[in-house]
Amino acid sequence: MASSDFISLLTSKLSSNSKVLRDAASTDFTASMARWSNLDVKTPLAIVQPATQEDVVVTVREALQANVPFVPASGGHSPWSTIGKDGIVIDLALYKGVEVDPEKNLVTVKGGTLMKELQSAMHPHKQFTAVGSGNTVGVIPYYLGGGISIYTPFTGYGCENIISAKLINARGELIDVSETKNPELLWGIRGAGQFLGLVTELTIKTYPYSLLGNDSGQRMCGTYIFLPTQLEAVCAVLRTIAESSKYASAGHLMIVQAPPDLKQQVLLVAPQVFCSAEEAAVFFQPLVEIGPIQQSLFPSTFETHSDHLDWICAKGNFKRFTQIGVPNLSTENFRQLAELHAELIAGCPDAARSGYTLEWHTPCKAERQLKSSFGNENVDYWLNVLSWYTDPANHELVSSLDRRAQAAMRAGTQQEAFISYTNTTREDPLEFRYKGADRVKRLKLLKKEFDPTGVFSKELL
């Protein structure tokens, strides 16, 4: 258990640029505690902000020796990066960095580097890689848990692109992980790294902008808003777009309340395609012909990939985000999803910013080695359930609708084929998150070797 004596001793062993925050009323403590969601947030005895990799190692080592529990934090989006008064948060906000090597098509990411920082560092080199849809999402945890991306048609999932890593194990040792050093652990961190140690650095494969068909990292993004009564026609067109081999595409079919007053349910289609503006207009013309009540088509770049989604990254309130893999776009299942969303808003009006979404990307065209523990590389459709509300009295209702939304989209799928995204749930069975008995067995053996007592998580034990 953490104590004042432990905190004082740890402080004396860290570099001068590190911070140890103990006053919960201070500005720095409050800023570090700011979370994407306030759901189940706890207050630690202290927040440690290491300034260097060695500081991170010292913090972990001292915590292990004193039997003090800890959790790492990088961006504040994870529901598992919070801990109570018996432990400390290792906030990696001061230890970050991006080193791009365009000649080798590699980028090295350190500590608490955020998605926007990665994109901004890579853009001058005309390089891209898998990124998530959120500027303030931590890069390393995103990659360790899978890495669903708009760029999956070119890169595969994020975890497939991990080339090497530095990891602190359950003995407080910093070890190298690569194809030649701890290769079995490399397989493990490509999809389950958050359960096997504290990863301080990743080297990731990158790709030239030219692969996207231009030298600016550009893609075309559409927004088409429809009435719920147009669902059948919208689904028919989206299936054609998603299954087309003409262009690499990705996007979202969303059920949301229309801004600005959030009073009317609508279908919001947000397709993205890698081609010219003229080609995109033709490609999305079938959506226009359905008759949207509002539409737009605009360019975006890798550097500005998620700028239009900054509002979703707002901190505070209560938010849940769940993702499950689904086999296809089923109109009937999606109709049930729309009804459940309407039920949520009717029973919980403060959840009007919630959205139930089907995300897709065209299959990856790149050559893939598939040497990862992730195991869901061939999933092209994901259900995203974003629940966003303010009244704690609605916790159970929101949670219940989340579960029912998942069940609706899984209708017609046998349970042994259920897929849950490990970056958004630790409640679903391992068999949903990691497919195949051999994969689960292999991960459990890694856990036994590198974290046998569950220092980093009790998962896989």
C-alpha to C-alpha distance for 46 and 24, rounded to whole angstroms: 8
| Other beta carbons less than 10 A from residue 214's beta carbon | 16
pLDDT of the residue at 403: 98
Nearest to 161 by CA among 120, 202, 124, 194: 202
- The model's confidence at residue 367, banded by pLDDT at 50, 70 and 90, is confident
The predicted-structure confidence for 195-232, as pLDDT tens digits, reads as follows 999 999 999 999 999 999 999 999 999 999 999 999 99
The predicted-structure confidence for 316-358, as pLDDT tens digits, reads as follows 999 999 999 999 999 999 999 999 999 999 999 999 999 999 9
User: What is the average per-residue pLDDT within 415-440?
Assistant: 96
User: What is the average per-residue pLDDT within 452-459?
Assistant: 96
Strand partners, 390: none
Residues 6 or more apart in contact with residue 165 via CB below 8 angstroms: 176, 177, 178, 186, 189, 193, 199, 201, 202, 203
User: What is the average per-residue pLDDT within 424-441?
Assistant: 96
Q: Does residue 453 carry a pLDDT above 70?
A: yes
120 to 131, 210, 421: CA distances (angstroms): 12, 18, 27
C-alpha to C-alpha distance for 196 and 458, rounded to whole angstroms: 10
Nearest to 325 by CA among 410, 440, 255, 230: 410
User: What is the average per-residue pLDDT within 246-252?
Assistant: 96
C-alpha to C-alpha distance for 89 and 32, rounded to whole angstroms: 10
pLDDT of the residue at 4: 87
C-alpha to C-alpha distance for 398 and 91, rounded to whole angstroms: 29
Q: What's the whole-model pTM score?
A: 0.96
Question: What residue has token string 């009073």?
Answer: 263
User: What is the average per-residue pLDDT within 293-307?
Assistant: 96
C-alpha to C-alpha distance for 61 and 84, rounded to whole angstroms: 20
Q: Per the structure block, which two tokens stand in for 148? A: 């669903």
C-alpha to C-alpha distance for 331 and 85, rounded to whole angstroms: 48
DSSP letter at 362 equals P
- The model's confidence at residue 1, banded by pLDDT at 50, 70 and 90, is low
Q: What is the mean pLDDT of the chain?
A: 96
Contact 410, 327 (CB under 8 A): no
The predicted-structure confidence for 43-88, as pLDDT tens digits, reads as follows 999 999 999 999 999 999 999 999 999 999 999 999 999 999 999 9
- Report the share of the chain in percent with pLDDT over 70: 100
Contact 37, 5 (CB under 8 A): no
C-alpha to C-alpha distance for 173 and 182, rounded to whole angstroms: 14
pLDDT of the residue at 3: 85
pLDDT of the residue at 411: 97
Query: How far is C-alpha 219 from the geometric centre of its chain's CA atoms?
Result: 21
Q: Per the structure block, which two tokens stand in for 187? A: 């397989």
Cα dihedral 449, 452, 457, 458, rounded to 10, equals: 120
Higher pLDDT, 265 or 260: 265
